[in-house]
Amino acid sequence: DLARTGVGRELILAAQRELRAMSPVPMFWCKARRIAVPFYERLGWRIVSEEFVIEHYGPHVIMEASCTT
């Protein structure tokens, strides 16, 4: 029910702020489901791997964002 309400965006941005405040991290990364790639790209993340499959969960890629995103 919360899809496309901005909750996910705010959660990611808040997590990034908290992590930067706790430690000088150089980047963030995640294993993103292929279907979620546009969501992360809108937040400034970029794909840094070839597509791979996680059994039972489908196609994924690794994505990164700089610590200033």
pLDDT tens, position by position, 41-59: 999 999 999 999 999 999 9
pLDDT at 4: 80
List pLDDT tens digits, range 6-36.
899 999 999 888 888 888 878 899 999 999 9
pLDDT at 69: 46
3-state secondary structure of 27: strand
pTM value? 0.83
For 55, half-sphere exposure in the C-beta direction (CA atoms, 13 angstrom radius) is 0
Q: 57 or 2: whose pLDDT is higher?
A: 57
Which residues, in sequence order, are CB contacts of 27 under 8 Å at separation 6+?
64, 65, 66, 67
